[in-house]
Amino acid sequence: MYRLGWPASVAHNQGLVNATIFVPEENNLPSIPVIMMDDRVVQLGKRDSPWPDVIIFQRPLKDVLWQAIPLLRDQGIEVIVELDDNFHAISPRNKAWTSTTKDRRANLMRACKNASLVTVTTEALAEQYGAHGRVRVLPNYVPALYLDIASDKEAFAPKVGWAGSVATHPDDLQAVGNSVAVALRAHPRWHFATVGTGVGVAKRLGLSPHYELLTTGWVALKDYPGKLAALDIGLAPLEHSAFNESKSWLKGLEYASVGVPFIATPTQPYQDLHAHGVGRLADSPKEWVYHLRALMKDQDLRKEEATRQQKIVQNLTIEANINKWVDAWTSVKGQT
């Protein structure tokens, strides 16, 4: 939704492009009619309706997708590959590792090489997947509606929290060391909360096995910003790795957009966001404790930071940056 659904909807509604969006969960995916021989696509089949001018494939890891790209381009149809993760640097401890095989990673590189354009979230991804030069960095933004999400913070039970899953981020929480446990002991009125199941979180933060972690469980995307807004302080810790250096500033931007001051590991994207005036950076347990204590003890500081950052985020919404997306998508028309 962040990378294609929302931008395409905004651009379509503003009359900037004529877009059709296919969402897997709605079971409305179109089929690409192809003719196969020896497990390879050798020809495109016939379609009842005309092909579009541009087709965007998100994370094309399957054989049939990359093999179809040059055939589509031979027909004058431009193909854009969209990526927001470094699939060549996923940790074996990440549950996505088993589905990201060597063959699939090779398919992805072939898709990028044959595409009219590759769009990515960060400069690190541009270096990984745009060696051919046909690449455009489109940073992640949030929908403007996030700025209007009502907060239901509990004044007598403030919460510091993390939105994420240990299954896909197995080593990120360890970046804070024992800082959360130390800060919670100094501020016993505070609770730690997760937007997610919370499985494995307490252990990684060095909290007692009997600590009563507040959890939301899995939430639908439509409910997600409201759950974030209930936090008083957000955390965006990242293990230093090639995979995380390729990650965008999205988590922090989500926190800031719903009025939650946050602390993040200083990867390059978070340094860039900090340069905008959004977020605090911490690169050691000592720095995490410092920022946690500063925010936990001062409600006025949290409110001031939240208000100031939301004003900045007004310029970091999908709506405010839609022309970047439209320019990228339309730049390939007639390229083949």
Q: Where in the chain do CATH 3.40.50.2000 domains reside?
A: 144-313
Read off the pLDDT of residues 53-107 as tens digits, 9 standing for 90 and up. 898 999 999 888 898 899 889 888 899 999 999 999 999 888 888 888 999 999 9
Per-residue confidence (pLDDT) for residue 156, from 0 to 100: 76
Q: Which CATH class is domain 144-313?
A: alpha beta
Per-residue confidence (pLDDT) for residue 40, from 0 to 100: 59
End-to-end, the C-alpha distance of the chain in Å comes to: 28
- Rounded to 5 degrees, φ, ψ at 330 are -90, -10
Per-residue confidence (pLDDT) for residue 150, from 0 to 100: 83
Q: How far apart are CA 248 and CA 251, in angstroms?
A: 8
The C-alpha torsion from 183 through 185 and 186 to 188, rounded to 10°, is 110
Query: Does the structure show a pLDDT above 50 at 36?
Result: no
Asked if residues 313 and 141 have their Cβ atoms less than 8 Å apart, the reply is no
- For the chain, what is the radius of gyration of the CA atoms? 22
HSE-up (13 A, CA, CB side) for residue 130: 22
Read off the pLDDT of residues 123-148 as tens digits, 9 standing for 90 and up. 999 999 998 899 999 999 999 999 99
Per-residue confidence (pLDDT) for residue 75, from 0 to 100: 84
- Is beta strand 40-44 parallel, antiparallel or unpaired with respect to 34-37? antiparallel
